[in-house]
């Protein structure tokens, strides 16, 4: 490993660290904001998680989540926050492609693209998410 590469690695690590922290703080804030609305409106509703019935499309598709979050629904905002959380590692991987490309490391650009494709497939391809 030569000096230029190590220096580049350190810089990428710094940016990745900031990216991860920002993503977590942002998503936790959106979840907490949604939680306050949800708790005020639904505090007295009885909970039942004993039987699984899945979630409505408002909370399982990106379009549905954006729509209900835009309408300031508590649960929709919470889902939006969780979606931002899931997107944080995805953004980290996407950024790494650029980082490895900067270092002209073709092998790792390929590896990273493979991981990104798998992640995007999970989000968009695994069950008509849009």
- Cβ(20)–Cβ(88) under 8 Å? yes
Residue 89 touches other proteins, criterion: CB under 8 A: yes
User: Which residues between 24 and 53 bind other proteins (CB under 8 A)?
Assistant: 24, 27-28, 31-32, 34-35, 38-39, 42-47, 49-52
| One of 26, 66, 94, 119 touching other proteins (CB under 8 A) | 119
- Cβ(112)–Cβ(100) under 8 Å? yes
Burial readout 87-113 (b: 16 or more C-beta within 10 A, e: otherwise): bbebeebbebbebbeeeeeeeebeebe
| One of 2, 3, 4, 10 touching other proteins (CB under 8 A) | 10
Burial readout 19-34 (b: 16 or more C-beta within 10 A, e: otherwise): beeebeeebeebbebb
Binding site for other proteins (CB under 8 A): 1, 9-10, 12-14, 16-18, 20-21, 23-24, 27-28, 31-32, 34-35, 38-39, 42-47, 49-52, 54-56, 59-61, 74-76, 78-79, 82-83, 85-86, 88-90, 92-93, 96, 105, 107-108, 111-112, 114-115, 118-119, 121-124, 126-129
């Amino acid at each position: 490993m030569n000096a230029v590469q190590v220096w580049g690695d350190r810089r990428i690590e710094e940016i990745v660290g900031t990216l991860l922290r920002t993503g977590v703080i942002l998503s936790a804030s959106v979840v907490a904001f949604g939680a306050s609305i949800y708790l005020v409106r639904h505090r007295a509703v009885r909970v039942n998680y004993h039987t699984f019935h899945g979630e409505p499309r408002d909370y399982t598709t990106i379009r549905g989540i954006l729509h209900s979050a835009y309408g300031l629904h508590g649960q929709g905002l919470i889902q939006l926050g969780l979606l931002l959380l899931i997107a944080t590692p995805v953004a980290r991987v996407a950024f790494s492609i650029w980082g490895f490309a900067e270092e002209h490391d073709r092998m790792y650009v390929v590896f990273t693209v493979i991981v990104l494709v798998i992640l995007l497939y999970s989000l968009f391809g695994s069950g008509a998410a849009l």
